[in-house]
């Protein structure tokens, strides 16, 4: 039995539309989003772009704090550090401004981007510090807002000095900043920090949760290549995002930058493998090649960090160039893999959105290059992995839907198959029922013949011998005939029992047979049975054996007990049918189990039914026979 999934067919034009529409939508949305992002975090105040700048020391001297150093020159922001002084990690920026009268509201300076840590001084006094300024510094690249204390902000001329430290010499710089009232600066700060702190932090959680879910699916048995390579790529995206969120790890600036290169290379290599494995199992050569590119990247980073005689710039730029040129190879391969996946996919709508999500990291990378010439005010690359995670969830949802459709188709086929099998089984059961009925009739006929032969037939044969004996009285002949007639009636009465009928009704027939005979003998029969008692499961053969057991027990009372009353109680527990036959005769003088042929016959028949017999008797107090027979096993 096979199951299939019905997939809607698309014309070439519709297929092309559904493949291109999501990518165009993402591109247009990304363009306007980048324009909005470019304006985010910029307050409605004119930016400060003309400053005095030059090399600085830490801690700064009085000339630096007053903006009076001879080696400082006019500069226009944004500007890179190396345009001022490549050899020093500390650069100072001074700006002179005037305040008309006494400021009524709270004022401050809003630094959109200082790469990386900044200390702010107003009129020679420290007013704010973000990050560790000593070497090696922590890496904090988010927007900063420093409030001007009212005691330091004076009417007329004021001097603001910003000391910026870069974790690697010659890189980084300062973007334009703004001076004004805090009410105008704080909304811009909140917008910029959402973009550069809150959003990447949320994306890192998404990467971590998605990687754990993919890992859980792998451990649960879904060892598909797409799951394997997404898990690896998500781990690198998570590392890349966290490196931008944890300012002091690793503490060494060069090691930190090398980790950034390795994580970005891992993102490119294993995201490409993830894209290649979306449609089919990736070729072995592709897997080996991409892993080899990543391993060579590790070797480049290790060599750049350990070979003697290299300056810090070479140690930094060597891995950077390897990652850059690897990107020139990997990005086209990833786009080719996504295009191949989209072209072969049976669901172009889903494939178009997956391809669009793969385009998103490229768009955000281009945005990083275009946004903020000279000094990158904010980086979108930490959130670009959001597109890869979204592509994973889209692909996972498609596979879940396909599996659900396959299961529905399989269940439908299974229901049809079960329905056919049920019809076949019903026909087979009908045929078996007919065969079983024929077999049951044959067995019943054989049993009746055996009972007639062994019971009535044997008694009639014995009676023929008795009649031929002239010494036997007529009373004895009549007694033998009466016994044969009663045995015949027992056989006939037992035929009314069947496994589906209640034994209590059949025992009622037995009562009607024996009660007149007991009454003629001067005995009163006291019947004790709950009419609501249900005793199913006893067929004709078991009923006949019970009748003969009770007949033998009553005959013993008639012949030996000299009783006036007989009580017959019928009860049942969870397992057994219990019949008590009690009389008020003189009892058994020796209640040994082997006493008398009648008791031996009773024991033998009870043993055939799988039951037990218990005898209670005392001289002058009568006798009680308790018969226990298992229920529902004698059909």
Q: Residue 126 has what pLDDT?
A: 96
User: 564-607 pLDDT, tens per residue?
Assistant: 898 999 888 878 888 999 888 888 766 544 555 678 878 888 88
73 vs 368: which has the higher pLDDT: 73
Averaged pLDDT for residues 554-567? 83
| pLDDT class of 466 with cuts at 50, 70, 90 | low
Q: Are 200 and 119 in contact (CB under 8 A)?
A: no
Q: Is the pTM of this model over 0.75?
A: no
Task: Give the burial class of 62: count Cβ atoms within 10 A of its Cβ; 0-12 exposed, 13-18 middle, 19 or more buried.
Answer: exposed
Asked if residue 373 has pLDDT above 50, the reply is no
Class of domain 501-630 as given by CATH: alpha beta
628 vs 347: which has the higher pLDDT: 628
Q: Residue 254 has what pLDDT?
A: 81
| pLDDT class of 110 with cuts at 50, 70, 90 | very high
Q: Residue 604 has what pLDDT?
A: 83
| pLDDT class of 1 with cuts at 50, 70, 90 | very low
Tell me the domain boundaries of the chain: 12-41+202-408, 50-191, 501-630
Total length of the chain:
635
Q: Residue 468 has what pLDDT?
A: 59
- Provide CB contacts within 8 A for 370, sequence distance 6+: 34
Domain 50-191 falls in which CATH fold? Jelly Rolls (2.60.120)
Task: Give the burial class of 117: count Cβ atoms within 10 A of its Cβ; 0-12 exposed, 13-18 middle, 19 or more buried.
Answer: buried
Q: Residue 26 has what pLDDT?
A: 85
| pLDDT class of 467 with cuts at 50, 70, 90 | low
User: 471-529 pLDDT, tens per residue?
Assistant: 666 666 666 666 666 666 655 555 555 454 567 777 777 787 778 878 887 888 888 88
Structure token digits, residue 123: 């009129």
Structure token digits, residue 367: 């945005």
| pLDDT class of 370 with cuts at 50, 70, 90 | low
Backbone angles phi, psi at 500, to 5 degrees: -85, -15
User: 251-299 pLDDT, tens per residue?
Assistant: 787 888 889 889 999 999 999 999 999 878 888 999 999 999 999 999 9
CATH 1.20.1070 fits 12-41+202-408, yes or no: yes
- Provide CB contacts within 8 A for 6, sequence distance 6+: 405, 409
Lowest mean pLDDT among 123-137, 341-355, 477-491: 477-491
| pLDDT class of 537 with cuts at 50, 70, 90 | low
């Amino acid at each position: 039995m096979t199951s299939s999934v019905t997939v809607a067919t698309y014309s070439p034009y519709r297929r092309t539309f559904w493949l291109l529409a999501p990518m165009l939508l993402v591109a247009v949305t990304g363009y306007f989003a980048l324009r909005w992002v470019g304006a985010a975090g910029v307050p409605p105040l004119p930016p400060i772009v003309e400053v005095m700048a030059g090399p600085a020391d830490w801690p700064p001297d009085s000339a630096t704090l007053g903006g009076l150093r001879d080696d400082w020159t006019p500069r226009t922001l944004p500007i890179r550090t190396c345009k001022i002084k490549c050899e020093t990690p500390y650069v100072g920026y001074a700006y002179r401004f005037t305040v008309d009268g006494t400021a009524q509201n709270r004022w401050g300076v809003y630094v959109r981007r200082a790469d990386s840590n900044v200390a702010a001084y107003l009129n020679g006094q420290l007013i704010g510090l973000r990050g560790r300024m000593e070497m090696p510094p922590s890496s904090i690249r988010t927007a900063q807002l420093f409030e001007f204390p009212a005691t330091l902000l004076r009417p007329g001329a004021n001097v603001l000095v910003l000391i910026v430290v870069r974790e690697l010499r010659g890189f980084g710089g300062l973007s334009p900043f703004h001076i004004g009232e805090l009410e105008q600066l704080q909304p811009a700060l909140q917008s910029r920090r959402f973009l550069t702190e809150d959003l990447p932090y949320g994306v890192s959680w998404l990467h971590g949760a998605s990687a754990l879910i993919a890992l859980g699916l792998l451990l649960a048995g879904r060892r598909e290549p797409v799951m394997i390579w997404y898990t690896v790529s998500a781990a690198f995206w998570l590392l890349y995002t966290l490196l931008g969120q944890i300012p002091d790890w690793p503490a060494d600036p060069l090691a930190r930058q090398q980790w950034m290169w390795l994580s970005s290379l891992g993102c490119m290599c294993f995201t490409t493998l993830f894209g290649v494995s979306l449609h089919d199992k990736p070729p072995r050569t592709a897997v080996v090649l991409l892993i080899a590119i990543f391993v060579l990247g590790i070797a480049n980073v290790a060599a750049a960090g350990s070979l003697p005689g290299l300056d810090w710039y070479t140690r930094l730029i060597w891995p950077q160039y390897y990652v850059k040129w690897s990107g020139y190879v990997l990005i086209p391969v990833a786009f080719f893999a996504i295009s191949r996946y989209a072209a072969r996919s049976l669901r172009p709508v889903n494939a178009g959105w997956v391809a669009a999500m793969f385009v998103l990291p490229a768009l955000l990378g281009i945005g990083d290059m275009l946004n903020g010439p000279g000094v990158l005010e904010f980086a979108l690359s930490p959130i670009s992995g959001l597109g890869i995670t979204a592509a994973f969830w889209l692909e996972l949802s498609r596979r879940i839907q396909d599996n659900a459709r396959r299961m529905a188709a399989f269940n439908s086929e299974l229901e049809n198959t079960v329905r056919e099998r049920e019809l076949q089984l019903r026909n087979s059961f009908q045929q078996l029922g007919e065969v079983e009925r024929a077999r049951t009739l044959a067995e019943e006929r054989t049993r009746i013949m055996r009972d007639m032969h062994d019971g009535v037939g044997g008694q009639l044969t014995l009676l023929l011998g008795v009649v031929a004996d002239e010494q036997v009285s007529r009373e004895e002949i009549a007694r033998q005939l009466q016994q044969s007639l009663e045995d015949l009636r027992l056989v006939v009465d037992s035929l009314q029992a069947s496994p589906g009928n209640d034994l209590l009704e059949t025992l009622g027939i037995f009562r009607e047979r024996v009660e007149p005979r007991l009454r003629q003998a001067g005995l009163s029969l006291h019947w004790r049975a709950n009419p609501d008692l249900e005793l199913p499961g006893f067929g004709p053969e078991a009923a006949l054996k019970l009748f003969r057991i009770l007949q033998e027990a009553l005959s013993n009372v008639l012949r030996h007990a000299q009783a006036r009353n007989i009580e017959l109680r019928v009860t049942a527990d969870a397992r057994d049918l219990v019949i008590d036959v009690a009389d008020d005769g003189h009892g058994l003088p020796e209640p040994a189990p082997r006493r008398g042929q009648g008791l031996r016959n009773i024991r033998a028949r009870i043993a055939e039914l799988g039951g037990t017999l218990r005898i209670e008797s005392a001289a002058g107090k009568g006798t009680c026979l308790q018969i226990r027979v298992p229920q529902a096993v004698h059909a």
